[in-house]
Amino acid sequence: MSSVIPEYVSSPPGRASRARYGVIAFIVALAMVTYLDRACISTVAGDIRKDFSLSEQQMANVFASFAIAYAIFEIPTAWWAQRRGTRRVLTRIVLWWSALTMLTAAVPTPNALAHIFPAITHAFAWSASFFLMLAVRFLFGMGEAGAWPCAAASYARWIPERERGFAQGMLFAGAHISGGLTPFLVIFLLESAHIHWRVIFLLFGSVGFFWAIGWHLWFRDDPADHPRVNDAELQAIVASRGPPPEHDGGWPYWKRILANRNIVPLCLMYIGNSYAYFFCITWLPTYIKEKHHLASTALGIAAGLPLTVSVLGDIFGGLTTDSLCKRFGTRVGRSGLGAVMYSLATLGILLAVSTNSPWLAIGALSFAVACVMFTLGAAWGVVIEIGGHHTGMIGAIMNTAGNTASIFSPIVAILVKDNLPGGWNAPLYVIGVLFAVGAVSWCFIDARHRVFD
């Protein structure tokens, strides 16, 4: 049975320390590493297809293998973190996915396998090479699963309620500036520095090892255990954190979660966000090249533009949702903001498919994506507010729904592009419909109703 939670609690008096901002800095850096490793493959997709003799549909399957693993292991990883703490779990999963990023560089091509094993046929060598690439990207997705729920769970333990929208906005700002700049960086490394795509994966994968070491040494699961947190900051943190969790699992636990009025609309809303994001990090460079005929530096800038522009949406969206919540409550500050921005995003997609101007189309698409990303602070703010100590699990459910859509995003994009009128406009129509569904879903989300009392 849902309950209505009180609105924002005022900060306790006293000069508080600011160790919680160190947590935000680490999580922002985590987001940047995450998107650096994810977005790299879309920019080198042409080189990979050439080396491995892959069609567009087969490359879409490589993209989807990541999303499948990400969706499958999201909830189990959140469950693991809920019991072991995000300090240990985030350290381990970052080390895992960083190693798999580097291992992507070691997948042999069909020609290499045929050279190593002269007795095998070329068809067998191609199949084995393709399978190995699918397997490595699947294991990479397994590693990245749970990063966002773990980040949200860390925020739920460390960040006061009045600052959560800002904290989430900064997280996604770091993610999107990394995702936006990655295509440009990769093209520079490929064309100007003449670095092979395999070396790029080795370089990018190594970054995560430094983050994992720093996080494990500095972070503590409970701010009360951190030497840089004074009494005033601790009081500000725990004031809105609620009592310790009393629900461990079993059918009553899941029934309580799934019966909450926010779960279904949260999942429906997040589908459009994840679907559009995955299009941006998979087929967007190809869409720009084939639909708008941009190449080289212009292609790198255009491919990174939606996520780069989204940085402003992330930051100001987080600040705006917190400000609106303080003045008008969560119904306006979270749900109202989300509905308006998803509606604007739908209009942006309609403009993108109706113009013949390359940069106007890319600008409209970037505007639409930025509008959706503007709501991330509100979305994850709702997750923390209704989830409390179970934030990681609620976030995992929402993120799983979104990443289930991500599985189909690269595959559906090629199918509708090849079989429906409009060519590369057809995938954008799909995104527009999902944004419209998200706008309606936001109207049914109410952060005042917690999953557990």
Q: Please say whether the beta carbons of 401 and 394 come within 8 A.
A: no
Domains, the chain, ranges and CATH? 16-240+249-450 (1.20.1250.20)
Which amino acid, 396?
Answer: A
b (16+ CB within 10 A) / e for 66-105 = bbbbbbbbbbebbbbbbeebbbebbbbbbbbbbbbbbbbb
pTM of this structure: 0.75
Residue 243 phi/psi, 5-degree rounding, is: -70, 165
Tokens of 247: 């629900």
**Cα angle at 449 between 445 and 451, to 5 degrees?**
105
What does the pLDDT read at residue 37?
A: 84
* Neighbour count for residue 418 (Cβ, 10 Å): 11
Tokens of 410: 């690269």
Q: Please say whether the beta carbons of 181 and 304 come within 8 A.
A: yes
Locus of tokens 């879309």 = 42
What does the pLDDT read at residue 245?
A: 52
Q: How far apart are the C-alpha atoms of 158 and 174, rounded to whole Å?
A: 19
Integer Rg of the chain from CA: 22
Q: How far apart are the C-alpha atoms of 351 and 357, rounded to whole Å?
A: 11
**Cα angle at 228 between 224 and 234, to 5 degrees?**
40
What does the pLDDT read at residue 298?
A: 87
From 199, 151, 157, select the one nearest 174 (Cα to Cα). Answer: 151
Locus of tokens 């199918």 = 415
What does the pLDDT read at residue 452?
A: 75
Tokens of 273: 């966000």
Residue 450: its H or E element:
strand 449-450
From 168, 162, 173, select the one nearest 329 (Cα to Cα). Answer: 162
**Cα angle at 394 between 33 and 247, to 5 degrees?**
125
115: Cα separation from own chain's centroid: 39
Residue 4: its H or E element:
strand 3-4
Q: Please say whether the beta carbons of 93 and 105 come within 8 A.
A: no
What percent of the chain clears pLDDT 90, i.e. is strictly above it? Answer: 54
CA atoms within 13 A on the CB side of 161: 28
Locus of tokens 């940085």 = 311
With left for phi above 0 and alpha for psi between -120 and 50, is residue 27 left, alpha or beta?
Answer: alpha
What does the pLDDT read at residue 218?
A: 96
Instruction: List per-residue pLDDT tens for the chain, 453 residues long.
Output: 344 433 433 444 568 899 999 999 999 999 999 988 887 888 898 899 999 999 988 998 998 898 889 889 988 998 888 888 999 999 999 999 999 999 999 999 999 999 999 999 999 999 999 999 999 999 999 988 888 889 988 998 999 878 888 888 898 889 888 877 888 899 899 988 999 999 999 999 999 999 999 999 999 999 999 999 999 999 888 886 655 555 556 778 888 888 899 999 999 999 999 999 889 878 898 899 899 988 777 888 888 889 888 888 888 998 999 899 999 999 999 999 999 999 999 999 999 999 989 999 999 999 999 999 999 989 988 998 898 878 888 988 998 898 888 888 888 999 999 999 889 999 999 999 999 999 999 999 998 888 875
